[in-house]
Amino acid sequence: MSSTRDIDALIEMMAKLPGLGPRSARRAVLHLIRKRALLLTPLADLMQTVAVTARECRRCGNVGTADICDFCTSEKRATGEICVVEDVADLWAMERAGAFKGRYHVLGGTLSALDAVGPEDLRIPQLLDRVMDENVSEVILALNATVDGQTTAHYIADQLEGRVRLTSLAQGVPIGGELDYLDDGTISAALRARKDV
Amino acid sequence: MVVPGLWCGVRLHATPVSMSLYLTELVLSHFRSHKRVQLGVDARPVVLFGANGAGKTNILEAVSMLSPGRGLRRSSAEEMTRRPEALGWKLRGGLVSLGQGHEVETWSENGAARQVRIDGKTASQVALGRIARVLWLVPAMDRLWIEAADGRRRFLDRMVLSFDPGHAEAALAYDKAMRERNRLIRDEVRDPAWYAALEAQMAEAGHRMHTGRVRALALVQEAQDQAETAFPAARLTLVQTEGAMPETEPDLRDALADSRARDMAAGRALVGPHRTDLQGVYAAKDVHAKDCSTGEQKALLVSLILANARALADRIGAPPLLLLDEVSAHLDMQRRAALYDEVCALGAQAWMTGTGAELFGELRDRARGFEVTDSGGASAVMERDLG
Ligand SMILES: Nc1ncnc2c1ncn2[C@@H]1O[C@H](COP(=O)(O)OP(=O)(O)O)[C@@H](O)[C@H]1O
Ligand SMILES: [Mg+2]
Ligand SMILES: [Zn+2]
């Protein structure tokens, strides 16, 4: 049995993180061990806490530590606008850009028959409920310009047609360019120039 | 992404040096039968001769990988890796495109999808299509006119792609949306909004594909009409396996919606650009290409490739790289000489193969000659004079 078994296991886990490979995982672990008091112990504590407290907002699907997230409880955010995104990473990208002042709805994916993801596997029924309940005036479809993203946008637009103003981010978002990868200026511009669908 | 500038751009007139596209260097590492081969060339055509199995077509395939897609054999990246080592492969091309030099690299490791770098920076295959336009004619296409429609559709889409690198994206988006819809059909999903959403995607991408095809055919037709050539003109038309192709995006969307019940019964989509076929007619004789002699069928293909190249030279300012594998097969001596003259007049860097140097004697110093041999399990390449 190897005397570095736990460390090897940690490296293996770290290498599964997005953006890290085996090489960078080894470097990160070595760094953590060297900065035990400054980094490793506090990180371990925080991970333990978040493992217990992290949850999805019951209303919008955002990730936080409360049942209902801050966006959904904040009165300032009750502008009547809901921005629909595929993923929490997209919500965070929109927030980084700082151009949107309303509330969000995270679908948790896109429609894809090939991947066996249907409307009920996404938060689409919940979105329809929110539009009825929350005095919503505009739904902004901020979905990626992929085939699945646009199919999903089209599907939602079809369900909401006539009930609320529907807009989508302006083109200029590159084809297949995912929101999370766009710079803040591009997102703000696409939001300002949004158009009715 | 469609590049509108390409269609409506200024007409540039071909002048020899700055307005051309050619490789200056090609390096193959562990690619098929080649362990490491480095070819230094110039703007002139390149002749590769040698025995069957020596590795000539492999070199043409390497050049074809400098354009988007899976190359002229449509192989996977894994199949191209040299065996028995199976380490992965790498290609590097020095390319002059419209007076600008570029270094293009593409490689695959461990059977993974290939990657592309242009001038040291990671690039997409679409970006590759913008700087390196490549057209090819290979012996497998000798039966193009008599075999199934998908071969002709691929030939057609290569032509379109040569004018519009964005065509590949439209085709991929269409294909993806169609496969999604076919899956709904097979799973017997009955949600009309889901079908409508996919049909909207199919109509958008499908219409772009269709207009791209119509425009490309018009350009090739025009280039044929204007040229003085020893090769027979073909009259090309798009035909549907059944019915007619809806001409507008809303029409295509409606046709797909109308076809839902029939598609359910068939288990797949029955309307759309995936059911378009390319019909060729030997114009001077008014005979369908499929009914022409083997030699005439080949001559029609050569004619189309040359017309496509001329149209491109006219639109973007440079003819494409041409890969003409075993091109002299089925061509008599006069036609062969005419082909060489036309390629040289066009200023295209045509990469041509054949078994012996004598097939290329008429080119003399108008082309660079290389002999390809099998030397102890790896291909070797040596420069030779051509007659
Ligand atoms: N992945 C590979 N690894 C090694 N050799 C290969 C590979 N793929 C094809 N070959 C060899 O390449 C040769 C065919 O080369 P090719 O270029 O088609 O010949 P030709 O000169 O007749 O055009 C065959 O001998 C074949 O075994
Ligand atoms: Mg060959
Ligand atoms: Zn929330």
* Nearest atom (ligand 1) to Cα of B326: 23
Q: Pick B146-291's CATH classification: 2.120.10.30, 1.10.760.10, 1.20.1050.90, 3.40.50.300.
A: 1.20.1050.90
Closest by CA to B187, choosing from A3, A82, A107, A114, is A114
Any idea how long chain A is? 197
CB proximity A172 to B under 8 Å:
no
- Partners of A171 in beta bridges: A173
- Phi and psi angles of residue B378, each rounded to the nearest 5 degrees, phi first: -135, 145
Choose the closest CB to A113 out of B184, B193, B200: B184
Choose the closest CB to A158 out of B169, B184, B196: B196
The domain segmentation of chain A, as residue ranges, is 5-53, 68-196
The rounded Å distance from CA B272 to ligand 1 centre is: 38
Predicted TM-score of the model (pTM): 0.86
E strands present in B98-163: 100-108, 115-118, 121-122, 134-137
Average pLDDT over every residue of B188-195:
96
Query: Would you state the pLDDT for residue B49?
Result: 97
The domain segmentation of chain B, as residue ranges, is 146-291
Instruction: Spell out which residues of chain B touch residue A181, defining contact as CB-CB under 8 Å.
Output: none
* DSSP conformational letter for B187: T
CB proximity B188 to A under 8 Å:
no
Q: Is B303 in the pocket of ligand 1 (CB under 6 A)?
A: no
Q: What is the pLDDT of residues B242-258, one digit of tens each?
A: 889 999 999 999 999 99
- Which amino acid belongs to residue B259? S
The rounded Å distance from CA B282 to ligand 2 centre is: 28
C-alpha to C-alpha distance for B44 and B357, rounded to whole angstroms:
16
Choose the closest CB to B177 out of A151, A158, A174: A151
Inter-chain residue contact B189 with A113, CB threshold 8 Å: yes
Other Cβ atoms within 10 Å of B123 Cβ, number: 18
- Partners of B119 in beta bridges: none
Residue pairs spanning A and B at CB distance below 8 A: 50
Provide the CB-side half-sphere exposure for B378 (13 A, CA): 15
Instruction: Spell out which residues of chain B touch residue A148, defining contact as CB-CB under 8 Å.
Output: 176, 180
- Which amino acid belongs to residue A183? D
| A170 against A169, higher pLDDT | A169
| Residue B298 clears pLDDT 60, i.e. is over it | yes
Instruction: Spell out which residues of chain A touch residue B200, defining contact as CB-CB under 8 Å.
Output: 150-151, 154
ipTM above 0.90, yes or no: no
C-alpha to C-alpha distance for A163 and B350, rounded to whole angstroms:
61
Instruction: Spell out which residues of chain B touch residue A155, defining contact as CB-CB under 8 Å.
Output: 193-194, 197
Rg (CA), chain B: 22
- Distances in whole angstroms, Cα of residue B331 to Cα of each of B48, B200, B308, B322, B371: 18, 47, 20, 17, 22
Q: Tokens at residue B289, please? A: 């290409």
CB proximity B177 to A under 8 Å:
yes
Average pLDDT over every residue of B310-323:
94
Q: What is the pLDDT of residues B352-374, one digit of tens each?
A: 999 999 999 999 999 999 999 99
**Domain spanning A5-53, CATH architecture:** Orthogonal Bundle (1.10)
Among all bound ligands, the one having the nearest atom to the CA of A59 is 3
Interface test with A, best of B175, B186, B201 (most A CBs within 10 A): B201
Q: Are B145 and B300 in contact (CB under 8 A)?
A: yes
Burial code (b: 16+ CB inside 10 Å, e: under 16) for B59-70 equals bbbbbbbbbbbe
Average pLDDT over every residue of B18-37:
94
Query: Would you state the pLDDT for residue B10?
Result: 35
CB proximity B109 to A under 8 Å:
no
Looking at every residue in chain B, the average pLDDT score rounds to 92
Burial of B121 (0-12, 13-18, 19+ CB in 10 A): exposed
Give the closest residue (by CA) to ligand 1 atom 18.
B57
| B67 against B4, higher pLDDT | B67
| Residue A88 clears pLDDT 50, i.e. is over it | yes
Banded model confidence at residue A173, pLDDT cuts 50, 70, 90? low
Q: What is the sign of the dihedral through the CA atoms of A39, A44, A47 and A52?
A: negative
Banded model confidence at residue B3, pLDDT cuts 50, 70, 90? very low
CB proximity A37 to B under 8 Å:
no
Banded model confidence at residue A186, pLDDT cuts 50, 70, 90? confident
Other Cβ atoms within 10 Å of B190 Cβ, number: 9
* DSSP conformational letter for B31: E
Average pLDDT over every residue of A109-116:
96
C-alpha to C-alpha distance for A27 and A21, rounded to whole angstroms:
10
| Residue A118 clears pLDDT 60, i.e. is over it | yes
Q: Tokens at residue A156, please? A: 């939602």
Question: Three-state SS for B338?
Answer: helix
Q: Is B183 in the pocket of ligand 1 (CB under 6 A)?
A: no
Q: What percent of chain A has pLDDT over 90?
A: 76
Question: Which CATH code fits A68-196?
Answer: 3.40.1360.10
Cα end-to-end distance, chain B, whole Å: 47
